[in-house]
Amino acid sequence: MSRSSSRQPSALEADRRKLIDIYRTMVLVREVELSLSRLFADSEVPGFIHLSLGQEAVSAGVASVLEVQDTLATTHRGHGHVLARGIDVGGFFKEIMGRVGGLCKGRGGSMHVADLALGVLGANGIVGAGIPIALGSAVAHHVRKTRGVAVAFFGDGAMAEGVLHETMNMAALWKAPLLLVCENNGWSEFSPTERQFAARLEALAGAFGIAYKRVDGDDAVAVSEASGIAAAAARSGAGPFVLECVTHRVRGHYEGDPQKYRDPTELDGLAGKDPLKRMHTHLESAGVSASEIDQIGRAVLTRVEAAIEAARADALPDFDEASRDVYTGREAIV
C-alpha cells in the first residue's frame, strides 16, 4: 500500500457538515465576485474593485475557525474575507453599488466595507494599514480577557511595509492574540514578490520569536486546519501567529487590468489550481454527491441574484447624504 493511500483522514476531512459549510462559503465568494465583475463592466459599480478570484480557500478556511467575539481587518482585496465572516450579502451589494441601504450607507464602497456587529473592522485602501488596526483589537481582547482573536489579512505586497514589522514587534512583546494571515499570491500590484521583498516571511516571524506556518492556500481544508492551530495558540496566551497561505491571483491588480506584465503560460495554468475544484475532492471523499454539490451552487446563485436585484431597486443617496460624515461644515470649525 502506498503512503498516500494509507494516510488517515483528518478530523476536518471527516466532518461532512463543516466541509459543506466551507464549500458553500467559497461558492458564495466566487459567485459574488463574478457578479461584481459583470456589474463593474456594465458601469453599475462606481470606482475601482479588486477581486480575490482564485483565493477563496483562504477566506473560507480562516473564517471557519473564528468565534463570535473575534475580529478582523482586511485589505483592498477583501470581499472574500468579509463575506466569509458572514456579512449580509444584500447590504454588501448595496454598499458596493453605492446605495443608501449599504452596510456603510453606500459611502465606503469596495475598499471600506465594515460591520462592527460582526467584528469586521473594515477594509483599507492603504497597503498594510489594516495590520496595526488588528493589533489594537488584539490588545483589547487581551486586556478584556474575551478569549478573542484578531485577524489581520494582508498580501505579500505588505511584507515590505514597516508597519508589519512594527506590529510583529509589539504583538510579540505584549503576547497579543493576533493572527497575521498573509495571502501570498506572488504579486505586489504589478511586480513579482521576489522583486520587492528580499527576505522570507518565515525568517521575519522568527526574528520576533513568532510562531509561523506555511500552507497551501488553494486547499481550504489545509487552511482551516492550520488556522485552527494558530487560533488555539493565540487564545491560550501564546501570543501572535503568522500564517502564510500560498495562493494565486486569477484577475489583475484591479478589475480591467490587462495583465500584460504576466507570462501568458502562468495565466493559462491557473485553471488547474482552482480551489473550488480542490474542495470537490474533499467533498467527494466525505460522501457528498455531485447532485448535492450542484444544489449548493444553485442555492448560492439564487441568493446572489436576489441581492443584486434588491440593490438595483434601492435608492441612490443625494449629495448631502453622501457627503455626511465626510466633510465638516464651515460653521462647525469657526
- 9-323 adopts what CATH topology? Rossmann fold (3.40.50)
Question: 3-class secondary structure for the chain?
Answer: CCHHHHCCCCCCCCCHHHHHHHHHHHHHHHHHHHHHHHHHHCCCCCCCCCCCCCCHHHHHHHHCCCCCCCEEECCCCCHHHHHHHCCCHHHHHHHHCCCCCCCCCCCCCHHHCCEHHHCECCCCCCCCCHHHHHHHHHHHHHHHCCCCCEEEEEEHHHCCCHHHHHHHHHHHHHCCCEEEEEEECCEECCEEHHHCCCCCHHHHHHHCCCEEEEEECCCHHHHHHHHHHHHHHHHCCCCCEEEEEECCCCCCCCCCCCCCCCCHHHHHHHHHHCHHHHHHHHHHHCCCCHHHHHHHHHHHHHHHHHHHHHHHHCCCCCHHHHHCCCCCCHHHHC
Q: What is the mean pLDDT of residues 79-96?
A: 95
Best CA proximity match to 69, nearest among 234, 222, 305, 247 = 234
Report the C-alpha gap between 118 and 87 in whole angstroms.
7
Is the pLDDT reported for residue 322 higher than 90?
A: no
Is the pLDDT reported for residue 327 higher than 90?
A: no
pLDDT band for 332, please (50, 70, 90 cuts).
low
pLDDT band for 199, please (50, 70, 90 cuts).
confident
Contacts of 182 (CB under 8 A, 6+ apart): 154, 155, 156, 158, 159, 201, 242, 243, 244, 245
**The whole model's pTM is what?**
0.88
Question: Between 163 and 11, whose confidence is greater?
Answer: 163
Per-residue pLDDT of 109-167, as tens digits, reads: 888 889 999 999 988 888 888 999 999 999 999 999 999 999 999 988 888 889 999 99
Per-residue pLDDT of 204-237, as tens digits, reads: 999 999 999 999 999 999 999 999 999 999 999 9
Report the C-alpha gap between 175 and 177 in whole angstroms.
6
Q: What is the pLDDT of residue 239?
A: 96
Is the pLDDT reported for residue 172 higher than 90?
A: yes
pLDDT band for 8, please (50, 70, 90 cuts).
low
Q: What is the pLDDT of residue 272?
A: 76
Q: What is the pLDDT of residue 1?
A: 31
Q: What phi and psi values does residue 152 have, to the nearest 5 degrees?
A: -115, 110
Asked if residue 179 lies in contact with residue 232, where contact means CB atoms within 8 angstroms, the answer is no
Mean pLDDT check: name the lowest of 4-18, 167-181, 290-304, 317-331. Answer: 4-18
Report the C-alpha gap between 240 and 254 in whole angstroms.
31
Mean pLDDT check: name the lowest of 61-75, 79-93, 104-118, 261-275. Answer: 261-275
Q: What phi and psi values does residue 108 have, to the nearest 5 degrees?
A: -90, -45
Q: What is the pLDDT of residue 67?
A: 97
Residue with cell 457578479: 35
Question: Which residues are registered as beta bridge partners of 179?
Answer: 151, 241
Best CA proximity match to 91, nearest among 71, 79, 105, 78 = 105
| Bridge-based pairing state of the strands 150-155 and 71-73 | parallel
**In the chain, where are the structural domains located?**
9-323
Q: What is the mean pLDDT of residues 47-64?
A: 92
